[in-house]
Amino acid sequence: MYYFDTAKDPRLLFSQKIINKLESIIRNIKLHRSEREELLDIIHRMKSTMKQIIYSYLPKEELIKSTMFKEYRKILDELKKKFQAIIKNLEEKELLTARFIQFILWNLESLDYRIISLPDDLTSAVDYKFVKVLSAMKHPRAKNLLITRVTDGTRNYEVVTNDLTVRSGDVLLFAVLPPRDFFGIVSQGMFLGGETIRKGTENVVGNTTSLSENEKRNLKSIIIQFLKE
């Protein structure tokens, strides 16, 4: 019988990490005192619930259907509603912080899917899927970089890449990662592949896939670096 070790599962441990990151962000951005206290209270409940999940040792299907996971989703819905206006305001002044909050909420939102559908591997700490390139233009401050806008059919992302062959209309394998600033442009992830980016066809946009060893290695290195921060 397969044993699912929740206490060591990278998806759950990554979730715990980014919840702590979110708490740190709340303590450092400019908010009214009452709003900050309300958000910190929600985060405290989220941290407590995540701790229960991590030490539940339940099989995957039971975990996703459990009362504690339902509570997790309920708390996440509260956070998403509270952060709508905050993210919009931050986008005008602190885009990197706004994108970081978005990444955290999106990652927490997809946790159940990644537990059920992705391998029990460190790479599954984040989402990876095929996206379609909507536009590609040269970075105004770095001639060896492109700024691309991509979509998974549901959400759009901005991605900075050093592959100058990327063109509008391409379908590429993409990982949603903690955002990074590249000379004033915030990238929300990276394209995956070996010597070249993995390409797909229009019908796989939004779908995930099995990763090659090289793709796993590249993705793991970034996740490990983030976990060390």
Q: Assign domain 124-228 to its CATH superfamily.
A: Nucleic acid-binding proteins (2.40.50.140)
pLDDT of residue 2: 63
What is the CATH number that goes with domain 10-117? 1.20.1440.150
- pTM greater than 0.75: yes
Q: One fold for both 10-117 and 124-228?
A: no
- What's the one-letter identity of residue 105? L
pLDDT of residue 194: 83
From 153, 148, 181, 186, select the one nearest 165 (Cα to Cα): 148
| CA pair distance 189, 204, nearest whole angstrom | 19
| Averaged pLDDT in 10-residue chunks for the chain of 229 residues | 85 98 96 96 98 97 97 98 95 95 98 97 98 97 96 98 97 98 97 93 97 96 93
From 175, 146, 151, select the one nearest 163 (Cα to Cα): 146
| CA pair distance 229, 209, nearest whole angstrom | 28
- What's the one-letter identity of residue 148? T
Classify residue 4 as exposed, middle or buried by CB count within 10 Å of its CB (0-12, 13-18, 19+). middle
| CA pair distance 216, 94, nearest whole angstrom | 31
pLDDT of residue 97: 97
Ordered alpha helix ranges (H), 32-168: 33-54, 60-65, 67-93, 95-109, 111-117
pLDDT (tens digit per residue) in 129-182: 999 999 999 999 999 999 999 999 999 999 999 999 999 999 999 999 999 999
pLDDT of residue 229: 85
Q: Within a 10 A sphere around the Cβ of 104, how many other Cβ atoms?
A: 20
- Could you state, in order of their start, the residue ranges of all structural domains in the chain? 10-117, 124-228
| CA pair distance 51, 195, nearest whole angstrom | 40
Is 216 within 8 Å of 224 (Cβ atoms)? Answer: no
pLDDT of residue 1: 46
